[in-house]
Amino acid sequence: MAAKGPGHEPRRPGGGPECAGDVFYGADFAELWQEDPEVARILLDEVERLRGGLQLIASENFTSPAVMAALGSTLTNKYAEGYPGRRYYGGCEVVDRAERLAVDRAKDLFGADHANVQPHSGASANLAAYAALLRPGDTMLAMALSHGGHLTHGSKVNFSGRWFDVVAYGVRRDTETIDYDEVRDLALRHRPKLIVCGATAYPRLIDFAVFRGVADEVGAWLLADVAHTIGLVAGGVVPSPVPHADVVTFTTHKALRGPRGGAILCTEELASRVDRAVFPFTQGGPLMHAIAAKAVAFGEAARPEFRAYAGRVVANARALAGALEEEGMRPVSGGTDTHLALVDLRPLGVTGADAERACARAKITLNRNAIPYDPLPPAVTSGVRLGTPCVTTQGMGVTEMKEIASMVAHAVGDPGAITSVAERVTRLTRSHPAYPRG
Ligand SMILES: Cc1ncc(COP(=O)(O)O)c(C=O)c1O
């Protein structure tokens, strides 16, 4: 029988307190099916898509039934502008408990002075963090999108690039790792008010202590956006930015395996600035069902099983990067320390867009991604990004990573092999199903 990730073991229906089945009102698929079969069909098709293929998008995961139950609850109805004990609406005494629990669990899990769990997403968390620390026109230093940074780190097509004066650092050509000398030189030259570290397509560890040193040298705030790696931080398998950064932003739905959403950790000094920046400055009413689900996810992430899961995510990513290299693809920076591999496809003479399409036809979902100094435009790219959070939740290990690398190589390198690769994918996902039945 396939091993299943923590939180994904089939549970006896009504397995909570004796009364739970009678008093809980939550997701009832039969009712949806009856009332709106068109939407119900979409939900079923998506489950089939998840079960029938391999999900290698590095920013996705399969959240647990407990998280789903919180998301599909009546907490979605409640207006609760403000913070626990200080709301602008009545009737918040119950949802206050959910938010206090989520905040306390986040603080404990990450050892932070203060947590704000209201951001609707990672982008909203960054918007609020910038609002807490900057004024329009201020200078910030962040990683270039083309080298692995995120859109909200100063891209011209995003508010961050429009409203701030952004200076970008990148990775070295030879090592493809962050050029800390360049970071320091740019900081000394431009005197940014904020330095952002953290990335969306960077396979290596980030040296938060070095960033702290540079920030101190120029009197800048340090923001660590660990949207991608926060689950690995929670599992204790990569270093935490919390002791170094003034503000830490993250998403709850990637390796952390919680509901779609964001959160902010910060020092006591910045607590009220951050809270006011989230509400009322950048958001309205919080999503209380999502906040309850974040509390569930933080609780799950504090368990030893999650620590083991996070370790397997990294071990699997390493094995996958190594196996892809043996198949003729070049892992950027020579490998990975995290949950993702960024792969240069130029040795195979294939573009990222072609590889993404070929893999999709073979039921392997991954995304094209620019590699550092990519000669091709962002819509085409020379690389793909592959992550292991989903397949690890499905109970796959190092042996399966080798099989996945071989399947990706065949799909990418041989159009005639698509059908046979799709059959191999079916066999693998049957033995390691996503959201197993029963
Ligand atoms: C580093 C980083 N920051 C922020 C975000 C934005 O998160 P969201 O899509 O939840 O807005 C992402 C999403 O991929 C990310 O990778």
pLDDT digits (tens, 9 = 90+) for 142-159: 999 999 999 999 999 999
Is the bond preceding residue 280 a cis peptide, omega within 30 degrees? Answer: yes
**What pTM, to 2 d.p., does this model score?**
0.95
DSSP string, 384-414: EEEE-HHHHHTT--HHHHHHHHHHHHHHHH-
Query: Ligand 1 mean position to 219 CA, how many Å?
Result: 26
Cβ contact 239:110 at 8 Å: no
Locate all alpha helices (DSSP H) within 53-172, ordered by sequence: 65-71, 93-110, 122-133, 159-163
Confirm or reject: Cβ of 122 under 6 Å from ligand 1. yes
State which amino acid sits at residue 336: T
Which of 251, 256, 294, 369 to probe ligand 1 with, by most ligand atoms within 8 A of CB?
251
Where in the chain is CATH 3.90.1150.10? Answer: 304-431
- Dihedral over alpha carbons 268, 161, 200, 394 (to 10 degrees): 90
Tokens of 107: 């603080």
What is the second-level CATH architecture of the domain 304-431?
Answer: Alpha-Beta Complex (3.90)
Q: Which residues are marked as active site? A: 79, 81, 225, 251, 254, 260
pLDDT at residue number 19 = 57
Determine whether the annotation assigns residue 268 to a binding site: yes
So what's the pLDDT on residue 380? Answer: 98
Considering Cα of 190, then 196, then 199, then 203, what sign does the dihedral take? positive
Contact 393, 435 (CB under 8 A): no
Mean pLDDT of the chain: 95
pLDDT the model gives residue 23: 86
- Long-range contact set of residues 100-105: C-beta below 8 Å, sequence gap at least 24: 101/295, 102/291, 102/292, 102/294, 102/295, 102/298, 105/295, 105/298, 105/299, 105/302
Ligand 1 atom at shortest distance from the alpha carbon of 261: 10
Question: What pLDDT score was predicted for residue 40?
Answer: 98
Atom of ligand 1 nearest to the CA of 260: 10
Q: CATH 3.40.640.10 region(s) of the chain?
A: 76-301
pLDDT computed for residue 16 by the predictor:
60
Q: Which residues of the chain are modeled with pLDDT < 70?
A: 1-21, 438
Architecture of the domain defined by 76-301:
3-Layer(aba) Sandwich (3.40)
Pocket-testing residue among 200, 254, 287, ligand 1, by greatest number of atoms within 8 A of Cβ: 200
Confidence (pLDDT) at 130: 98
**Residue 225: closest CA among 313, 123, 327:** 123
**pLDDT number for residue 356:** 98
- Res 2: pLDDT: 36
Is 60's C-beta closer than 6 angstroms to any atom of ligand 1? Answer: no
Is residue 12 exposed (0-12), middle (13-18) or buried (19+ Cβ within 10 Å)?
A: exposed
348, 412 Cβ separation under 8 angstroms: yes
Atom of ligand 1 nearest to the CA of 198: 1
